[in-house]
Amino acid sequence: MSRPYGHNGHVISLATAAPIAGASFLASAVEVVEAFTIVLAVSVVRGPRPAILGTLSALGLLALVIIALGPMLAAVPIQGLQLTIGVLLIVFGLGWLRKAVLRAGGVLSLHDEAAAFQEETEALRSESAADARAADWLAGLAAFKAVLLEGTEVVFIVLAVGARPGLLAPAAFGAAAACVLVLAFGVMLRRPLTRVPENTLKFLVGGLLTGFGVFWSCEGLGAPWPGGDWAIPGLVAFYLIAGLAASSVVAAVTRRTA
């Protein structure tokens, strides 16, 4: 049952808010895990100072971007914004689904956080053989780049899925919860989060983003959906089932060709 709640005069159903928060949480968790792996490698090789400085610098730059983009998005007509964001979400979501399908089907190798951590650690140690100050600067730059790149994707996802009036709060809440949980587990374990089922998360996020993208695009074009916001779970389920079916076909073809 949909239970509406108000936000600045806008009534948003639970059917919309819950998937928004879930999509933002899952997508952000994947990005934060990847950024954390690089920052942890920097901390292990060169100590916490360059890792913290690089991370804080990237977060500060991201905050400035958000402050600059906020008023610009508010000035765009809602239907035009929904259509633009919807198309971007479809492209972004189908990209995630494609990678997840190919990895599940055995065409692409699964992303390995332990291998990524080892590779980054070896690269930083080879750089550390040079001048210590230069090595610290390069290590901080590696942390900055990782947090900036993955953080940019998180910001895009939050702004995209929260483009509809009243949805920015649940989208931001989902992203913030993912950041806090991943960092808490990472700091507590002090090692790469290898047990995070990244490809499963990519499947879920790909289906969520694609479903929302189709919904936003049609709303931006003025086409009503039967059942209103409750069409979103159906769209998400459709793309998830299609992705799983495609991965089974790809796996079968891969086995035959092998």
What pLDDT, on the 0 to 100 scale, is given for residue 3?
A: 43
CA gap 256, 258 in Å, rounded? 5
The model's pLDDT over 177-212, given as tens digits with 9 standing for 90+, comes to 888 888 887 777 666 555 556 677 778 888 888 888
What backbone torsions phi and psi does residue 111 show, to the nearest 5 degrees? -70, 130
Angle between helices 231-257 and 14-46 (to 10 degrees): 50
pLDDT digits (tens, 9 = 90+) for 23-34: 788 888 888 888
Give CA torsion, residues 30, 33, 39, 41, to 10 deg: -120
Contact 171, 25 (CB under 8 A): no
43 within 8 A of 190, measured Cβ to Cβ: no
0.75 exceeded by pTM: no
- Please write the tens of the pLDDT for every residue from 141-156: 888 988 888 888 888 8
pLDDT, tens only, 223-239: 878 877 778 888 888 99
Measured CA to CA, the distance from residue 17 to residue 29 in angstroms comes to: 18
Percent of residues in the chain assigned helix, strand, coil, to nearest 5: 80, 0, 15
